[in-house]
Structure 1
Amino acid sequence: MSDRPTPVGALLRAAPPDRLPEVVAEHLRRHHGAGRVEILLGDLTLTGLRPLLDVEGPAGDALAQRCFGSQRPVVDVAPDAHRTYLPLSVWGERLGVLVVETSPANGTGLTEHLTAAADELAVALRAADAITDRYRRAGRRERLTMAAELQWELLPGRSLGDERFLIAGQLQPAYAVFGDHFDWSLTGDRLTVTVLNGNGDGLEAAVLTTVAVNAMRNARRSGANIVEQAELASDALYARYGGDAHAATLLLEIDLISGRVEAVDAGSPRAIVAREHKSRTVTLEQQLPLGMFGDTRYETQRFVLEPADRLLVVSDGVHAATPAGRPPYGESALLTALRRTRLQPATEAVGTVMRGLREYHGDTEPEDDAVTVCLDWRR
């Protein structure tokens, strides 16, 4: 009879979805001599890391933030103990950080074992997120509005990537967003990205966006191209609202092999390409927002990305923001913020752009919600 321990992945699959942290902590203590174990999850803004096991414990420290940002293990060596920080991520989605304290005498190869456990835990947490509230509650500093609840539930995630690309998105204000939204889907070498700005305020704007997003998903999952996706969503919105409400939308379909991009520009979101030290706004002919008129038809436009290009897509809450009568954020301040992201991955760049927007507002409350999506094409 084998004395080998049960693999942590098997233990996690057998555990109740809300008990994954305790299962992995017990496994690490029993088989790797771990002392303190903590699981830190990113909050809604991804600016803080909140503890799961000791909910009254401290938030993630500077080393945890470094691990989260770099997506690489960080080891803090002390005479009496080693503290290892390991990223929790799956398919490019950053979830948080696993923190494990061990004795210096535990030997070589420990980081590899801990990394394997972190990878199994990340997959399990991603799967469990839909069937327990524990992990979402940990990431909230305050209660969401009903509109924001709808929008966060509708998101595909906050980042996605592999060796070909990395894409990330962020909503602001996180706890009170209503009409702005983003969506993406990866099939083979085709990445479909949409950024929406549903008009109106509060819950009605969120419902409008929900209808538009699900209509486009319905078309996409039936094999429709982005023109057909836009037309089905426009028809669905017009059937519901009769032209009284609409959703400005930019739909993109990116070939991850060639860099060719097909676009349907149905409103206000803007696309900017950063190449080496220069940035340029992608010139597209704007067509009618989704749902403005019945039987609206759309046309595809095209542009091409080059290897190592960065594509930034922002809603009008970003590029058209004019706090206290200042010039629009998109005229020059947005490009300044984008230049600051040159050495950052897309997952960090969206935060830099949004912080720049908050700084631009100063003491003025934003009049609109905002979304930023950043794609790095790595080929």
Structure 2
Amino acid sequence: MSDGPTSVGVSLRAAPPDRLPEVTAEHLRTRYAAEGVEVLLGDLSLSALRPLLDPDGPAGGPLEQRCFGSQQPQIDPRPDGPTRLILPLTVWGDRLGVLRIETGTPPSRTAIEEMHAIAGELAMALRTADRDTDRYHHARRKQRLTMAAELQWDLLPGRSLSGERFRLAGALEPAYAVYGDHYDWALTGDRITATVLNGSGDGLEATLLTAVAVNAMRNARRSGANIVEQAELASDAIYSRNGGNAHVATLLLEIDLISGAVEAVDAGSPRAMIARNGDIRQVTLEQQLPLGMFGDTRYEIQKVQLEPADRLLVVSDGVHAAAPGGGPDFGSAALLTALRSTRLQPPSEAVGTVLRSLRDYHAGTDAEDDAVIVCLDWLRQAA
């Protein structure tokens, strides 16, 4: 058996779920004479990279952040110490963190390629192990989550996803005390279904309302239902539970990755925009009733057409309607400025840039609502 990526994959699959970093570190020390190894995971707000092997050690610095943002290996051949190699930990475009390896001499190109593959094996194992250990959840937290936030994070599909024809990312804030806003997506064949939700109310009740909506739509989607049927099943489930006293504003989208055709059900306040050739325009849709407002509500599909290299953006009302101190809302001008500044960034970076701009717009005051942004780049041709 090979000593490279294949054997470490076998070792990871045989290891207890909470010991994956140690198994990887031992392999790197044995095979590549690594003098130091650290696994750093992105925290919930993706503002810091937190160490796993030495939890009391320093967070990731500029080199680690550069690797995490660019998704490219970083090499630091220091003359006064070991060479540092930083590798991204990524699964299907979902950025988990970075792997830092220190060696006495600069590694060869072949060794770098092998260690890059090992980082990929570790990333896949870490994502799988999340269901069976709390170690990695604990490492990603700067502070304790509210119960509502705990439920919301468990509902999320991930924070980014990519394929030959698309790049997709989502962000949710505030990370440690979210309420009813949410996003969801699923890739099946050449189609992506994506939803952004604004749940009404506060705290745990808002989260439970969103959980009913998300799981009802997933139940319909996983049974082969289209987005109209997904919306109607979710609306009926919410109405049955709340009798019209609570509702969920939702935008459901199904994107054909071959043709760029988008089918939409606009059931509330999330707002969609398209960035094209340096211009950003709002997608005009006929707004239908929020989910759960009335019994037996029926919905209709509306159609939008993407062009190659288009960027589709969806924001919740916690973004576009945010108006700290009673001033003008963020969506009136500041949102467009923030979106234009992300033109050269991949979606995984763009969503964070917009939410940082929103935080700056609040100028130190607490946000009155949580905020969601989803960003999809349609590449059309294989990358």
Same fold judged by TM-score > 0.5? yes
Measure, in 1, the Cα distance between the counterparts of 2:77 and 2:2.
31
Write out aligned runs for 1:229-240 (5 A).
Answer: 229-240=230-241
Counterpart position of 1:277: 278
Counterpart position of 1:39: 39
Counterpart position of 1:157: 158
Larger deviation, residues 145-154 vs 100-109:
100-109
What is the CA-CA distance between 1:364 and the residue it aligns to? 2.1
Secondary structure of residue in 2 paired with 1:175: coil
Secondary structure of residue in 1 paired with 2:263: strand
Counterpart position of 1:17: 17
Counterpart position of 1:313: 314
Amino acid at match of 1:222: S
Cα contact 2:77–2:106 (8 A) shared by 1: no
- The answer as to 2:359 corresponding to 1:329 is no
Amino acid at match of 1:115: H
Measure, in 2, the Cα distance between the counterparts of 1:114 and 1:102.
12
How many residues of Structure 1 are paired with residues of Structure 2 in the alignment? Answer: 378
Write out aligned runs for 1:34-183 (5 A).
Answer: 34-79=34-79, 80-104=81-105, 106-183=107-184
Larger deviation, residues 104-113 vs 2-11:
2-11
- The answer as to 2:202 corresponding to 1:188 is no
What is the CA-CA distance between 1:233 and the residue it aligns to? 0.2
Counterpart position of 2:340: 339
What is the CA-CA distance between 1:327 and the residue it aligns to? 1.0
What is the CA-CA distance between 1:3 and the residue it aligns to? 8.2
Cα contact 1:93–1:160 (8 A) shared by 2: yes
Measure, in 2, the Cα distance between the counterparts of 1:374 and 1:265.
17
- Structure 1 residues 351 and 4: CA distance shift in structure 2, 3 A: closer
What is the CA-CA distance between 1:378 and the residue it aligns to? 1.5
Percent identity between matched residues is: 70
Secondary structure of residue in 2 paired with 1:372: strand
Counterpart position of 2:372: 371
Cα contact 1:215–1:229 (8 A) shared by 2: yes
Amino acid at match of 1:335: L
What is the CA-CA distance between 1:23 and the residue it aligns to? 0.1
Cα contact 1:164–1:256 (8 A) shared by 2: yes
Amino acid at match of 2:251: L
Q: Provide, for residues 59-112 of structure 1, a one-character-per-residue CA deviation record: whole Å limited to 9, x for no partner.
A: 001010000000010111122421100000001100000000012265441110
Measure, in 2, the Cα distance between the counterparts of 1:162 and 1:269.
25
Measure, in 1, the Cα distance between the counterparts of 2:367 and 2:260.
35
- The answer as to 2:187 corresponding to 1:200 is no
- Structure 1 residues 103 and 329: CA distance shift in structure 2, 3 A: same
Secondary structure of residue in 1 paired with 2:90: strand
Give the root-mean-square deviation of aligned CA atoms: 1.1
Measure, in 2, the Cα distance between the counterparts of 1:240 and 1:4.
56
Cα contact 1:33–1:106 (8 A) shared by 2: no
What is the CA-CA distance between 1:325 and the residue it aligns to? 1.6
Secondary structure of residue in 2 paired with 1:39: strand
Counterpart position of 1:303: 304
Q: Provide, for residues 202-253 of structure 1, a one-character-per-residue CA deviation record: whole Å limited to 9, x for no partner.
A: 0000000000000000000000000000000000000000000000000000
Cα contact 2:39–2:98 (8 A) shared by 1: yes
- The answer as to 2:295 corresponding to 1:291 is no
Cα contact 2:249–2:269 (8 A) shared by 1: yes
Measure, in 2, the Cα distance between the counterparts of 1:375 and 1:145.
29
What is the CA-CA distance between 1:154 and the residue it aligns to? 0.4
Secondary structure of residue in 2 paired with 1:46: coil
Larger deviation, residues 96-105 vs 346-355:
96-105
Counterpart position of 2:226: 225
Amino acid at match of 1:121: L
Counterpart position of 1:29: 29
Measure, in 2, the Cα distance between the counterparts of 1:316 and 1:131.
35
What is the CA-CA distance between 1:302 and the residue it aligns to? 0.5
Cα contact 2:37–2:100 (8 A) shared by 1: yes
- The answer as to 2:257 corresponding to 1:256 is yes
Measure, in 1, the Cα distance between the counterparts of 2:292 and 2:323.
27
What is the CA-CA distance between 1:4 and the residue it aligns to? 5.1
5+ unaligned residues in a row in structure 1: which ranges?
A: none
Secondary structure of residue in 2 paired with 1:36: strand
Amino acid at match of 1:227: V
Question: What TM-score, normalized by structure 1, do the two folds share?
Answer: 0.98
Measure, in 2, the Cα distance between the counterparts of 1:70 and 1:364.
31
- Structure 1 residues 230 and 61: CA distance shift in structure 2, 3 A: same
Moved over 6 A (4+): none
Question: What TM-score, normalized by structure 2, do the two folds share?
Answer: 0.97
Counterpart position of 2:212: 211
What is the CA-CA distance between 1:169 and the residue it aligns to? 0.8
Amino acid at match of 2:62: A
Cα contact 2:182–2:198 (8 A) shared by 1: yes
Amino acid at match of 2:239: Y
- Structure 1 residues 4 and 129: CA distance shift in structure 2, 3 A: closer
Measure, in 2, the Cα distance between the counterparts of 1:105 and 1:281.
50
Cα contact 2:3–2:31 (8 A) shared by 1: no
Measure, in 1, the Cα distance between the counterparts of 2:277 and 2:104.
45
Measure, in 2, the Cα distance between the counterparts of 1:209 and 1:143.
21
Secondary structure of residue in 2 paired with 1:95: strand
